[in-house]
């Protein structure tokens, strides 16, 4: 038995070392050579395929792969690939200039990643479903279009059949009052990579006004803007009732302003609620002192009761020399608290004739360290350096004369009352004089002329 096994082993070794395979007339496995070679070709790095009988070059199809010693592979006529996979023109793929097709096993759905050159010579990378482009990336303008096949008009353009739609949503199934449902942030990086030192500029958020359920989802739109602070502050809010609040988080009127308001044009209203003070004094004498200047009221001649000084502050910032800061000294770590949600419980509810699964999430606060630029440290994008720079802020208070409209109205009301009193007094005097004249006239009529007798 051992002898037979030895004979079989020798035969196997003999076959391996002596047998050669011919493909298109060229050996595939040379005896004792140890190298696998393909069909004869004048092109380096081409790849061969075998059908069990002969060998053929994929390069012959003009789309076949080329593999370099580095492992870089070229498809679609690429002879010197510059990446692990370098794909060029594949006209058979949705009639574009090159791409990759991803399909399912049934062939009912396929997605394509391809590059096309438009008539204007611009290269665009696109993602498509079949022959339909779903997302386009413009290589020149660096713009992205969703459902836009050419020339997005902005950095991000979303186009729909009835208008573009973008949705911000939350995965939290237990939304309660003051929870943020979605936020659009505006922020600027202070250093080149955009990883550290992110400064929030402004935000627009949808905030719940109550606990959400199947029937209630009242929410407000909140506008926040930063003003020399690390965190933007709420400046305006539109409530679920449609009330707009400026300077208040609970607007009770269609327009609710807490603070001063300035209008450079006319303001019209059907009624005004008068909250102005009442003037006590000789309004006519005060008003008589008001003069005109350049076709307008000379505010300096207004009565003290209605005269006001409008003040505004103009700021001028001057900068000192830049002092370079090493990168290792430019950042600091701060502790931030982030909320993470995890499933806590699951229950099923019957909604109509459907069973709906509702998951309650447990919110957990976790502390994390975040790097940001130290206060006062800035980044120069033109030099790539960090620096500090003294800033001197000079404030100048500008004063301009004006008038208190409410006080002016109050003075005018008193002046009209004074005029009424004067008119009334003068009318009484006229009435008295008229009565006196009438009495004299009656007495004159009673006097009889004397007859002279010679």
Total number of domains in the chain: 4
- Considering the domain architecture, whether residues 135 and 176 belong to the same structural domain is answered as no
Quote the distance between the C-alpha of residue 438 and its chain's center: 86
Contact criterion met (CB below 8 Å) for 145 and 159: yes
The pLDDT confidence band at residue 343, using thresholds 50, 70 and 90, is low
Q: Read off φ and ψ for residue 451, nearest 5 degrees.
A: -95, 130
- pLDDT tens digits, one per residue of 284-325: 888 888 898 888 888 888 888 888 888 888 888 888 999 999
Query: 103 and 122 share a domain?
Result: yes
Domain end among 162, 178, 205:
162
Q: Which residues pair with residue 325 across a beta bridge?
A: 386
pLDDT in tens, 400-432: 888 888 888 888 888 999 999 999 999 999 999
Decide which of 162, 194, 210 is a domain's last residue: 162
- DSSP characters over 184-220: EEEEEESSTTSSS-EEEEEEEEEEESS---SS---EE
pLDDT of residue 106: 61
Residues 176 and 224 in one domain: yes
For residues 134 and 173, membership in a common domain is answered with no
Q: Which of 1, 29, 2 is nearest to 15 (CA)?
A: 29
Residue 27, in any domain of the structure: yes
For residue 206, pLDDT over 90 is answered with yes
**Calpha distance 167→182 (Å, rounded):** 9
Rounded Cα distance between 450 and 187, Å, is 113
| 115, 156: one domain | yes
Asked if the structure places residue 426 within a domain, the reply is no
Q: Assess whether pLDDT exceeds 60 at residue 26.
A: no
Does the pLDDT of residue 357 top 70, yes or no?
Answer: yes
Q: Are 256 and 177 found together in one domain?
A: yes
Are 15 and 44 contained in the same domain? Answer: yes
Q: Which is more confident, 16 or 10?
A: 10
Among 83, 103, 137, give the residue marking a domain's end: 83
With cut-offs at 50, 70 and 90, classify the pLDDT of residue 342: low
Most trustworthy range by pLDDT among 99-113, 177-191, 426-440:
426-440
Predicted local distance difference test score (pLDDT) of residue 99: 65
Give the model's pLDDT for residue 40. Answer: 54
Indicate if the pLDDT at residue 114 is higher than 80. Answer: no
Lowest mean pLDDT among 200-209, 365-374, 431-440: 365-374
Q: What residues make up the domain containing 121?
A: 89-162
Return the pLDDT at 105: 60
Residues 218-250 pLDDT 10s = 999 999 988 765 678 899 999 999 999 999 999
387-405 confidence digits (pLDDT tens):
999 888 888 888 888 888 8
CA nearest 305: which of 388, 405, 209, 379?
405
Q: Which of 246, 274, 244 is nearest to 260 (CA)?
A: 246
In-domain check, residue 266: no
For the residues of 21-73, what is the DSSP string, one character each? -EETTEESB-TTT--B--S--SSTTB-EEE-SS-EEEGGGGSS--EE-TTS-E
Highest mean pLDDT among 35-49, 354-368, 428-442: 428-442
pLDDT above 70 as % of the chain: 70
Q: Are residues 102 and 156 in the same domain?
A: yes
Whole-model pTM over 0.75: no
Greatest mean pLDDT among 46-55, 84-93, 342-351 lies in: 342-351
Q: Is residue 433 part of a domain?
A: no
More confident residue, 268 or 228: 268
387 belongs to a structural domain = yes
Which pLDDT belongs to residue 94? 40
Supply the pLDDT for residue 50: 53
Residues 69 and 115 in one domain: no
**Does 326 reside within a domain?**
yes
Instruction: Give domain status of residue 272, yes or no.
Output: no
User: Is 201:195 a contact under the CB 8 Å cutoff?
Assistant: no
Flag whether 427 is in a domain: no
């Amino acid at each position: 038995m051992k002898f037979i096994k030895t004979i079989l082993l020798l035969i196997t070794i003999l076959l391996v070392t002596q047998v050669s395979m011919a493909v298109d007339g060229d050996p595939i496995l040379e005896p004792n050579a140890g190298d696998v070679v393909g069909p004869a070709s004048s092109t380096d790095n081409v790849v061969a395929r075998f059908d069990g009988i002969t060998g053929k070059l994929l390069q012959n199809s003009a789309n076949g792969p080329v593999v370099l010693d580095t492992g870089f592979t070229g498809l679609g006529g690429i002879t010197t690939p510059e990446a692990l996979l370098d794909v060029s023109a594949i006209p058979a793929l949705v009639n574009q200039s090159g791409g990759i097709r991803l399909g399912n096993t049934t062939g009912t759905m396929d997605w394509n990643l391809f590059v096309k050159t438009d008539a204007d010579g611009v290269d665009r990378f696109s993602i498509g479903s079949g022959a339909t482009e779903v997302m386009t990336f413009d290589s020149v303008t660096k713009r992205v279009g969703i459902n836009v096949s050419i020339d997005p008009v902005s950095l991000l353009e979303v186009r729909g059949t009835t208008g573009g739609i973008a949705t911000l949503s939350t995965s939290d199934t237990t939304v309660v009052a003051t929870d943020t449902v979605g936020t659009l942030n505006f922020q600027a990086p202070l250093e080149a990579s955009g990883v550290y030192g992110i400064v929030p500029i402004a935000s627009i958020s949808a905030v719940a006004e109550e606990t959400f359920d199947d029937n209630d989802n009242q929410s407000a739109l909140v506008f926040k803007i930063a003003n020399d602070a690390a965190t933007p502050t709420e400046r305006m809010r539109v409530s679920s009732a449609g009330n707009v609040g400026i300077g208040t988080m609970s607007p009770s009127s269609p327009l609710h302003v807490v603070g001063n308001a300035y209008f450079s044009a006319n303001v019209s209203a059907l009624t005004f609620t008068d909250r102005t003070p009442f003037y006590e004094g000789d309004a006519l004498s005060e008003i008589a002192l008001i003069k005109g200047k350049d076709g307008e009221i000379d505010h300096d001649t207004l009565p003290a009761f209605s005269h006001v000084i409008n003040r505004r502050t103009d700021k001028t910032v001057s900068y000192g020399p830049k002092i370079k800061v090493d990168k290792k000294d430019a950042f600091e770590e701060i502790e931030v608290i982030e909320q993470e949600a995890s499933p806590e419980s699951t229950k099923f509810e019957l909604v109509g004739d459907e069973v709906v699964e509702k998951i309650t999430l447990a919110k957990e606060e976790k502390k994390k360290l975040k790097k940001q630029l130290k206060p006062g440290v800035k980044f120069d994008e033109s030099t790539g350096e960090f620096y500090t720079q003294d800033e001197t802020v000079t404030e100048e208070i500008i004063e301009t004369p004006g008038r208190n409209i409410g006080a002016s109205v109050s003075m005018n009301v008193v002046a009209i009352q004074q005029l009424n009193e004067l008119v009334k007094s003068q009318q009484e005097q006229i009435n008295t004089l008229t009565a006196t004249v009438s009495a004299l006239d009656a007495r004159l009529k009673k006097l009889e002329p004397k007859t002279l007798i010679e």
